[in-house]
Amino acid sequence: MSIATLLSSIQQLFRIGGPILLFIGITSCILNLLVLRRISLRKSPCTICLVAVNIVNLAYLFFGFLFAVFLVGYNSDPSTSSIIFCRFRNYMSFILTCCEPSCLILASIDRVLVTSPNAGTRRRSTRRLTIISMIGICSFWAIFHIHTLIFIQIVQYGTNYFVCIYQPGAYTTFISYYSLVVTGCLPPTLMAIFGCWTVKNIRQVRRVRHNASTRTTATVVVVGGAHTLQSKDQQLIRMLFIEILSYIICKYPGTLMLIYQQITQYDIKSDERRQIEQAIQELTAFLYFVENSIGCYTNMIASKTFRTELKRILIKIPTYFRSSVA
């Protein structure tokens, strides 16, 4: 396959697959919000984090993926028409990029608390603490990324060819390393740590339960009181683990591409090599947004309660439309 054919295929992927993925993603986020608002799991702090994740994903599909479709698939960037809109769009994109993994990490921490064999630790899992933590973290990212409202520019690279991009020079270098560390390596690492911690807690609880059952006792005695992992907590753990797994699978190739770019930034590259790197970068960008679009479908796999409530909502939709027409 020639380089031109490869680039054309990537462009068609965004041009045809982009609107399809956008529709799938918007549908997924809306259904997720409808179901998570109604099911019995809704009062859990972990569910609050998952609701926040879907709100962020829905916004990110508009502020991030939609413009990527315009740029790669249709060679058009609406944000270049106004410097204010250019900076605001990038500002929101940066915030949303950080808020999603932050909420997933908070959900992971909550699952560590819930599965702890220590009753005092489990009591720290509260809706109030989770909401305060989310507001604090999202406010921090909103303040921290104010620099994008200053250093994002519309740069002209040719006749009638303008790009909304970072200010060339030291700021571009800063953004590259910042993206590599803060949004690339750190979130998957923290998710993996808290995920393994949760698994460790679950095994510890099961081990204590097994020891108690061999003594023919009716309850599981752990530090601070009796503890059994409820069905709703198990479902939320599965939902969260699949969410984190899809995050790592879809986002990490982009991180690997960033690492490669930093390693080879001073290499002398041929035009063919640059075009291949561009094609791979665009492909990883498309995969990057897949994770934001499949939350509803992964939750269907993980939770029976989610599937039941989703089925109930879908059945009611035709009735709602018939009553509206009547």
Q: Encoding tokens for residue 271?
A: 């035009």
Mean pLDDT, residues 234-255 taken together: 89
**Residue 60's pLDDT is what?**
95
**222 pLDDT higher than 50:** no
> What is the maximal distance between C-alpha atoms in the chain?
81
**Residue 121's pLDDT is what?**
85
Distance, CA of 319 to CA of 24 (rounded, Å): 23
**225 pLDDT higher than 80:** no
Q: Encoding tokens for residue 63?
A: 């502020």
**How high does pLDDT run on average in the chain?**
85
**7 pLDDT higher than 80:** no
Question: Which domains, from first to last, does the chain contain?
Answer: 3-325 (1.20.1070.10)
| Selection from 282, 236, 255 nearest residue 104 by Cα | 236
- CA 121 to chain centroid: 27
- DSSP β-bridge partners for residue 163: 155
Query: Which DSSP symbol is given to 117?
Result: S
**Residue 269's pLDDT is what?**
83
**Residue 1's pLDDT is what?**
56
Higher pLDDT, 220 or 271: 271
- Residue-wise pLDDT tens digits, 61-112: 999 999 999 988 888 888 888 899 999 999 999 999 999 999 999 999 998 9
Question: Which band of pLDDT confidence, cut at 50, 70 and 90, is reported for residue 320?
Answer: low
**122 pLDDT higher than 60:** yes
Distance, CA of 134 to CA of 132 (rounded, Å): 6
Tell whether the torsion through CA atoms of 164, 149, 256 and 177 is positive or negative. Answer: positive
**Residue 322's pLDDT is what?**
65
Tell whether the torsion through CA atoms of 95, 98, 103 and 109 is positive or negative. Answer: negative
SS3 state at 326: coil
Neighbour count for residue 75 (Cβ, 10 Å): 10
Distance, CA of 306 to CA of 21 (rounded, Å): 22
Contact 29, 296 (CB under 8 A): yes
**209 pLDDT higher than 80:** no
**Residue 284's pLDDT is what?**
92
| Selection from 170, 172, 109, 97 nearest residue 138 by Cα | 97
**214 pLDDT higher than 80:** no
Distance, CA of 221 to CA of 286 (rounded, Å): 49
Q: Encoding tokens for residue 173?
A: 């270098």
- Residue reference for tokens 């591409």: 257
**Residue 321's pLDDT is what?**
60
End-to-end alpha carbon distance in the chain: 56
Neighbour count for residue 15 (Cβ, 10 Å): 15
**Residue 292's pLDDT is what?**
93
Mean pLDDT, residues 180-199 taken together: 90
**213 pLDDT higher than 60:** no
Question: Which band of pLDDT confidence, cut at 50, 70 and 90, is reported for residue 224?
Answer: very low
Distance, CA of 30 to CA of 223 (rounded, Å): 41
Distance, CA of 170 to CA of 33 (rounded, Å): 41
Mean pLDDT, residues 279-304 taken together: 91
SS3 state at 289: helix
Round the CA-based radius of gyration of the chain to a whole number and report it. 23
Neighbour count for residue 238 (Cβ, 10 Å): 17
- Residue-wise pLDDT tens digits, 145-160: 999 999 998 888 777 7
Neighbour count for residue 179 (Cβ, 10 Å): 16
Left if phi > 0, otherwise alpha if psi is -120 to 50, otherwise beta: which for 224? left
**219 pLDDT higher than 60:** no
Residue 27: C-alpha distances to residues 148, 188, 297 (Å): 30, 26, 10
Length of the chain, please?
326
Neighbour count for residue 118 (Cβ, 10 Å): 15
**Residue 160's pLDDT is what?**
76
